[in-house]
Amino acid sequence: MFGGVRVGIVGAGLGGVAAAGLLQRQGFDVTLYDMAPGFSRLGAGIQFGPNVLKILAYLDGLDKKLEEISCLPDYWVSRNGTDGAVLAKIPLNAEHERYGAPYITIHRGDLHQAMLDCVETQRIKWGHKLVDFTDNGRNVALEFENGSTETVDILIAADGINSRIREKIFGLEEALYTGWIAHRAIIPGAAAKALGADVNAKWWTADRHIVCYYLDRKEEEFYLVTGEPAEWTSRAGQLPSTREEFKAAFADYHPMVQGYIDAAETVTKWPLKTRDPLSKWHEGRVVLLGDSCHPMKPHMAQGAAMAVEDAAVLTRCLSELGVADLDATFEAYYGARKERATKVQSISNANTWLRQPEDPYWCYGDNVYNLKLTS
């Protein structure tokens, strides 16, 4: 039914890949473009909650494939950073039936590869950096840095926090540096186990934290990711760091955390940036999703989850409300997503999530396929 509708998605991050896979399954003629020369296995972990796993089920049962290879923590444990006292113990997979799906922690590269495998390979165009586009009301002409051009009927911006597409529609505005960075490292699972690691924990003190979890079913890799105040003047999206710098930032933390950091060989640091919410996510034949329209600090572990939820709701809007009146369809998408995405963005930026006992059902129990769409 939608075979004649050409959809160009710029950005093959987790949001763009989800949109490509879901729209292809509805029969749209989808092409996915990314400026990267190809897939690379970024050294980091990611948590995906039940709200996202319910969506991945629509990619030919990807949820089940991921459950086989990922770690399935029963609980989320919040600890005081200095003495290790438990502040909160929140059921994750211990209550997966209530949430409607499992909660996984996984290597980000393994997740990305598994999601890319759900998109027709010949429709993924690496080495395509979008430099400009023109929406003439009937279609959208795309111009890439490599000199190639393409014409699509709908353009989806999944090009992340520094979105070129967002910039062209809403104007150039630098993302806001929050004053915080994240150190990231992966250590051997055996080293974490020897220290008595929790399966999934966040250690907190007044102005910083460290989140620690296993990345695979066999618990062979253990991931450390922090949030901490620091200067950042570079324009780079990440920089190499050192074990010593990492350790100095957590010098007053519990010996178990010190032990994790001692086991870190390769350490990187990332600036945490955000943007104010947008009052519109679309213009003409162009529509935004994920970090291109609502980037956030990562402290709810829901940034990519929101990008995938956007992809699912946008797919529903395009296939259920149709493409004849794109303005109405995109308005319905924005209306269905704005409140939830902004709520998550605001709690995530405030860094309060699950620090104290609370019921995360409103977030994890949500199912975008139960949403009533109104045009």
Q: How deeply is 100 buried, as exposed, middle or buried, from its count of CB atoms within 10 A (0-12, 13-18, 19+)?
A: middle
The pattern of x and - marking residues 206 through 245 that bind ligand FAD according to CB under 6 A reads: -------------------x--------------------
- Using CB atoms within 10 Å of the CB of residue 180, give its burial: 0 to 12 exposed, 13 to 18 middle, 19+ buried: buried
Closest listed residue to residue 222, CA positions, set 252, 264, 251: 264
Sites for ligand FAD among residues 311-330 (CB under 6 A): none
* Residue of 5, 186, 304, 312 interacting with ligand FAD (CB under 6 A): 304
Where are the alpha helices (H) located in the chain, listed in sequence order? Answer: 14-25, 50-56, 62-69, 96-99, 108-116, 164-170, 189-194, 243-249, 255-262, 303-316, 326-350, 361-364
| Phi then psi dihedrals of residue 205, to 5 deg | -130, -175
Residue pair 304/360 in contact (Cβ under 8 Å)? The answer is: no
Tell me how far, at minimum, the Cβ of 298 lies from ligand FAD, in Å: 3
Find the part of the chain contacting ligand FAD (CB under 6 A) among 114-122, 152-160, 171-179, 355-363.
152-160
Residue 324 beta carbon to ligand FAD: minimum distance, rounded to whole angstroms: 27
> Is 134:147 a contact under the CB 8 Å cutoff?
no
Site for ligand FAD in 76-135 (CB under 6 A): 128-130
Distance between CA atoms of 155 and 189, rounded to whole angstroms?
42
Residues 42-81 that bind ligand FAD (CB under 6 A): 46-47
Q: State the nearest-atom distance from the C-beta of 345 to ligand FAD, in Å.
A: 10
Minimum gap (Å) between residue 180 Cβ and ligand FAD = 10
Pick from 14, 53, 106, 313 the residue near ligand FAD by CB under 6 A: 14
305 interacts with ligand FAD by CB under 6 A? yes
Kindly tell me which of 81 and 227 has the beta carbon lying closer to ligand FAD: 227
Q: In angstroms, rounded to a whole number, what is the distance separating the alpha carbons of residues 299 and 345?
A: 9
Measured from the CB of residue 187, what is the shortest distance to ligand FAD in angstroms?
A: 16
Decide if residue 150 touches ligand FAD (CB under 6 A). Answer: no
Binders of ligand FAD: how many residues, by CB under 6 A? 32
Output 80 or 162, the one with its CB closest to ligand FAD. Answer: 162
Nearest to 52 by CA among 15, 95, 89: 15
- Rule CB under 6 A: say whether 8 interacts with ligand FAD: no
Q: To 10 degrees, the CA torsion angle through 155, 159, 164, 165?
A: 30
- The span from the CA of 244 to the CA of 262, in Å, is 9
Distance between CA 290 and CA 16 in Å, rounded? 8
- Least Å distance between CB 201 and ligand FAD? 14
Phi-psi region of 39 (alpha: psi -120 to 50; beta: other; left: phi over 0): beta
**Binding of residue 16 to ligand FAD (CB under 6 A):** yes
Q: Which stretch binds ligand FAD (CB under 6 A): 197-205, 256-264, 276-284, 290-298?
A: 290-298
Binding region for ligand FAD (CB under 6 A): 10-16, 33-36, 46-47, 128-130, 158-160, 164, 182, 225, 270, 290-291, 298, 301-305, 307
